[in-house]
């Protein structure tokens, strides 16, 4: 009898904060994978607006209803994390052609580092193409309403 190797994807990012665009990518990718592990990159070189504990909490609040999703953080190469958890896929969302160029170079680097891992790109929905964490942070810093840009499950926390 043939055993099924679970299709595990890692969705890495800073998620500073998680947006409705991230949430959409996650939900639309769920049918493709047996498990999605959302990993918050703990990047010491990148100044985050929100502490990693808050970002992990907000992601968990947005996805906790789905048993196929795990949420964690890491501090090393994504391909090394993938190897640790048995993931063969890295999930990335694309909003623009600039995103594609940036993500392509990272995907090709990851492929050189570990040829067994595939990067899977998903296009954002048109209504989310302008939303990114930087824009949300800017609106937040200027005391604007970020509710339309973040998952409904966490909007009460802002």
Q: Of 4, 46, 141, 156, which one is the catalytic site residue? A: 46
Give yes or no: 128 in active site: no
Give yes or no: 95 in active site: yes
Name the residue with tokens 């493709």.
32
Q: Of 22, 88, 92, 128, which one is the catalytic site residue? A: 22
Q: Quick one: which H or E segment has residue 75? A: none
Q: Of 54, 95, 104, 111, which one is the catalytic site residue? A: 95
Give yes or no: 28 in active site: no
From residue 103, give the alpha-carbon distance in Å to each of 74, 121, 140, 147, 156: 19, 9, 26, 27, 32
Give yes or no: 22 in active site: yes
The dihedral formed by the CA atoms of 92, 93, 97 and 101, expressed in degrees to the nearest 10: -10
Name the residue with tokens 């990012």.
13
Active site residues per annotation: 22, 46, 95, 133
């Amino acid at each position: 009898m043939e055993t099924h190797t679970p299709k595990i994807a890692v969705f890495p990012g800073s998620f500073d904060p998680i947006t409705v665009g991230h949430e959409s990518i996650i939900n639309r990718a769920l049918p493709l994978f047996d498990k999605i592990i959302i990993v918050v990159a703990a990047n010491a070189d990148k100044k985050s607006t929100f502490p990693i504990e808050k970002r992990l909490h907000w992601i968990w609040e947005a996805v906790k209803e789905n048993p196929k999703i795990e949420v964690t953080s890491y501090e090393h190469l994504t391909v090394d994390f993938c190897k640790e958890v048995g993931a063969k896929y890295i999930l990335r969302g694309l909003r623009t052609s600039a995103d594609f160029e940036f993500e392509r170079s990272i995907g090709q680097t990851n492929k050189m580092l570990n040829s067994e891992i595939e990067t899977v790109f998903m296009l954002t929905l048109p209504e989310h193409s302008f939303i990114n964490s930087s824009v949300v942070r800017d609106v937040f810093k200027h005391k604007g309403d970020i509710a339309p840009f973040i998952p409904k499950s966490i909007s009460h926390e802002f």
